Amino acid sequence: MPIWHLKERLAFKVSPTRVYGAEGVSDPGPKTALGSSPDRAWRVCFGRIAVMGHNITIRKAVPEDADKISRVVHDSFLADVAPENSKEGVDFFLRVQSAAYFRKKMPEFISAYVAEKSGEIIGVIALGKKLSTFFILPEHQRSGVGKRLLSIAVTDWSAKTSETILSVNSSPNAVEAYVKMGFVPAGKEDLANNIRFVPMQADVKKLVP
């Protein structure tokens, strides 16, 4: 049974499905309000810190993360998305998705989170009016990190907006993954800035535990 370590001192109150944090106790151990189920623990969002097992933490992204976020985005894009796009599209994406871009845009995102393992960022998600950035390093894909990162970020996003539908432009190779997370295609494959995408959308209620 894993021990859920809190990186900050947290006080929490419990409902049947969520734990909300503020200031208080650290490292509650395995028999706490977080429960013994990893799936349940993944649902926890402490404002700034979300607790996960296996030395992985989800927290809100800050402008100081820009360099690391950009590297995660570039590495993931080059591995998974670039092979299905033209050189012009790849060059455009890498140029636009720079550290300077994320540093400038961070305060404008409605919800932005990173997943960290051993202090290194392994995934990022950012939502404005739609899901604009969502990348997990290849070696950490298919591990559940993306699904939980999405759930936490959308929970935050839905609390700050009145939107009931979340849209995203998915790369063609990620359509299956988005479908598994609750999205459905909302149109045919298209091209923007020489980058292929499939418009998709999801009912927010299906994305929030």
| 138 vs 1, higher pLDDT | 138
- The residue ranges of every structural domain in the chain are 10-53, 59-207
Question: 178: exposed, middle or buried (C-beta count within 10 Å: 0-12, 13-18, 19+)?
Answer: buried
Kindly state the average pLDDT of the residues 56-63: 95
Picking from 162, 193, 190, the residue whose alpha carbon sits closest to that of residue 86 is 193
What global pTM score does this model have?
0.77
Q: In degrees, to the nearest 5, what angle opens at C-alpha 158 toward C-alphas 125 and 163? A: 110
Confidence band of 209 (pLDDT split at 50, 70, 90)? confident
* Confidence class for position 208, pLDDT limits 50, 70, 90: confident
pLDDT in tens, 82-131: 999 999 999 999 999 999 999 999 999 999 999 999 999 999 999 999 99
Beta strand 184-185 with 10-14 is unpaired
Top-tier CATH class for 59-207: alpha beta
